[in-house]
Homo-oligomer: A and B are copies of this chain.
């Protein structure tokens, strides 16, 4: 439209957030020059699929790619610099220093707008040698490396460090491949953020599946000579042919920090609902950035693939001169461990109290389908609500066919509904899909009862 030269957008990081930003920017500004700088060999893949790739549920690593590279480079006219790293951000001059990881060639890229989508990295051991057989679960290359190791190294004993969702997904994957798996966690209990009841259900499933679990065991280091042979904790040495680090992730915010951008919780890059950082024309999105929690109204760090995609879209639109915002998230989480599904959304009672709510919880056990219908299985639901208003604040579920049930509660929380509203929800019904009283409605009725007798309402 204007006679000036086209806008130049630089995106650092080429996975969910980065490629969403670049793609959205292209749609908003067909004339812009858009450059994506990506450290790895791939862009835009389903990193959450790595456990299933390792398990053997997915045939080819390439199946995890959202699109072939040419979709971006040719169809969307996005310049993609693979195996390139951003070294330095000069916000004063609006440029970013980039280096090829292979050829080490350094260039400076000027930008009219910059999107930081640098992601997160897995926590690793603080010290010790770099041993073969020790893996993180972040990149497609991590997945490919694990596959190769499983085929060539033929490990028989694995230790997974971290008993959160990713650790459990990896434990399932390795147990499915026939390895003897031990899950270690430094905390006294598995699944932080989930209830004791949920942890108990998962522990029972671990026992049934022959997966060992050791809690309160901080991993100090790995032992081995070239190849890992054991994991060392203060109290013991656990033999291991293979170690998978799944003990959380930290935002890659060094570039932003060095450039003086404001950081938020967990050291993630602080952004507003429009993905603006503290510096003009610099946006951040995805696992490197913070996000607003819609229930607590606080800035939080909850990295999720879904959030990365949404934040990327918003950052891309705004960087290209549009106007978009993401109100926030509910911290929605779901994972499966063999046939057991576990998830949560919103705040649990402890978190809600900490956020200033007069929180109460109620729990029920229902069934996933009509009790007489084949495959009906237990569903445990805990709802948390504000005891004085009944406003829904959060939910936790374990059992079968829970993922979309969580989302039903998410929709109600998102809309500021009460447990009474949820109890009245006209949920679709047929015996293969739910009992006539869906566990969600059952839980809402139970919560509603709890509000009238707050003393009797069970805590979370």
Q: Which residues of A contact B (CB under 8 A)?
A: 16, 46, 48-49, 52, 57-58, 63-64, 165, 169, 294, 304-307, 309-310, 326-336, 341, 343, 345, 370, 372-374, 401, 403-412, 414-417, 421-422, 424-434, 436-438, 440
* Additional A-B contact list (14), CB under 8 Å, known A48-B431, A327-B424, A401-B404: A46-B372, A305-B436, A331-B426, A332-B427, A334-B430, A335-B430, A336-B430, A404-B433, A405-B407, A407-B408, A407-B425, A411-B411, A411-B417, A414-B421
- Chain B minimum-CB-distance residue to A417: B415
Of the candidates B374, B410, B428, the one whose C-beta lies within 8 Å of that of A427 is: B410
Q: A421 → chain B, closest Cβ, in Å?
A: 7
Residue numbers in B under 8 Å from A438 (CB-CB): 407
Contacts of A426 in B (CB 8 A): 294, 306-307, 328-332, 345, 410, 414
**A429→B372 contact, CB < 8 A:** no
Residues A414 and B417 in contact in the complex (CB < 8 Å), given A58-B372, A306-B426: yes
The answer to whether B408 and A415 have CB atoms under 8 Å apart is: no
Q: What separation, in Å, do the CA atoms of A411 and B426 have in the docked complex? A: 8
Residues in B with CB closer than 8 Å to A307 are: 426
A421: chain B residues at CB < 8 Å are: 414-415
Complex Cα spacing A374 to B57, Å: 7
A201 to B213, CA, bound (A): 47
Instruction: List 7 A-B pairs, Cβ < 8 Å.
Output: A49-B431, A307-B426, A406-B428, A407-B427, A411-B411, A411-B417, A412-B414
Give, as a whole number of angstroms, the nearest-CB distance from A128 to chain B: 32
Residues of B within 8 A of A327 (CB): 424
| CA distance in complex: A438, B411 (Å) | 13
Once bound together, how far apart are the Cα atoms of A336 and B440, in whole Å?
A: 21
Using known A-B contacts A307-B426, A415-B411, A425-B411, determine if residue A372 contacts B63 with beta carbons closer than 8 Å: yes
| Cβ-defined partner of A52 (8 Å) among B48, B416, B431 | B431
Which residues from B are CB-within-8-Å of A334?
428-430, 433
Please give, as numbers and ranges, the residues of chain B lying within 8 Å of A326 by CB-CB distance.
424
Across the interface, do B403 and A16 meet the contact criterion of CB distance under 8 Å? Answer: no
